[in-house]
Amino acid sequence: MRAVTTDLRVRYSETDQMGIVYHAHYLVWFEIGRTEWCRAAGIPYAEMERSGLYIPVTRVQCAFRRRSSYDDPIRVETRMAELRGRGCGFAYEVRTPAGDLLAEGATSHVFADPQGRPSRAPAGILARLEEFRSGPRGGSA
Residues assigned a catalytic role: 16
Closer Cβ to its own copies, 5 or 136, answer by number = 5
Closest distance between its own copies and the C-beta of residue 117, in Å? 11
Q: What is the CA radius of gyration of the chain?
A: 15
Closer Cβ to its own copies, 22 or 127, answer by number = 22
SS3 14: helix
Please report which residue ranges of the chain form alpha helices under DSSP H: 25-40, 45-50, 123-133
Q: Could you tell me which of 102, 99, 82, 79 has the C-alpha nearest to residue 91?
A: 79
Rounded Cα–Cα distance for residues 86 and 89 (Å): 11
Q: List interacting residues with its own copies (CB under 8 A).
A: 9, 11-13, 15-20, 22-25, 27-28, 31-32, 35, 44-46, 49, 54, 56-64, 67, 69-71, 116
Question: Residue 110 corresponds to which amino acid?
Answer: V
Closer Cβ to its own copies, 19 or 136, answer by number = 19
Closest distance between its own copies and the C-beta of residue 134, in Å? 25
Closest distance between its own copies and the C-beta of residue 31, in Å? 5
Rounded Cα–Cα distance for residues 34 and 17 (Å): 28
